[in-house]
Amino acid sequence: MIAIFIYFFFIFFTGEGLGVLLYPFFENHPMLDVTMYALLISFATAGRLSGGLMHYVVKIPTHLRFKVAAIVYFSLNIISGILLFTNYYFMIALQFMMGLLSINSFNIRMSSVQSYVPSEKRGRVNGVFQIIVSLGMLSGRLLAGSLGEFFKFEYIVLGLNIFGLLAFYMIIWRNRESIALIYNRKV
């Protein structure tokens, strides 16, 4: 379970790296503006809403939960990494996909971990998880913002997501058998 928590440090690290650079990217881009940014963020929210609804309608078979989560984790790094290199309309589609996929991976992780942890320890486990992801968020924002002073935003986000892919391989893929035991539980 600690591998899952450590990996979520990196998910939030890369996600917040994009988040801190996205607004200034739109603000400083010659073809984009902050109104377009607001619409883009709305599509991410619409993707999360759609993904949440889909998660309650489409039940992922228990034996496939880890595979689905692993594909989502991998895909989110690819999508996020290329986001700032695409045109605006493709960005909208990618943001919607990121919202849709991220909420499903969140639901799989949350339900799996909650069913795995004894109820008397859930509060402490959830507290530790929140501390870990908060550290990932702060670190990602700090690093991306600092690098943003010197490098193009697109390449910073790409680099963070390449790092995220390495974390996926080193943490999730290499520990897939033990993580699958947690994810592929009947909840």
How many structural domains comprise the chain? Answer: 1
Taking the C-alpha atoms of residue 80 and residue 101, their distance in angstroms, rounded to an integer, is 12
Taking the C-alpha atoms of residue 163 and residue 48, their distance in angstroms, rounded to an integer, is 24
pLDDT tens per residue across span 96-108: 999 999 888 777 8
pLDDT tens per residue across span 2-38: 888 899 999 999 999 999 999 999 999 999 999 999 9
Helix or strand (DSSP H, E) at 25: helix 2-28
Taking the C-alpha atoms of residue 35 and residue 23, their distance in angstroms, rounded to an integer, is 10
Structural domain span for residue 73: 2-183
Taking the C-alpha atoms of residue 144 and residue 162, their distance in angstroms, rounded to an integer, is 14
Write the CATH number for 164: 1.20.1250.20
pLDDT by position in tens, the chain (length 187):
788 889 999 999 999 999 999 999 999 999 999 999 999 999 999 999 998 898 888 888 889 889 999 999 999 999 999 999 999 999 999 999 999 998 887 778 788 877 787 788 888 888 888 999 999 999 999 999 999 999 999 999 999 999 999 999 999 999 999 998 888 888 7
Taking the C-alpha atoms of residue 81 and residue 35, their distance in angstroms, rounded to an integer, is 22
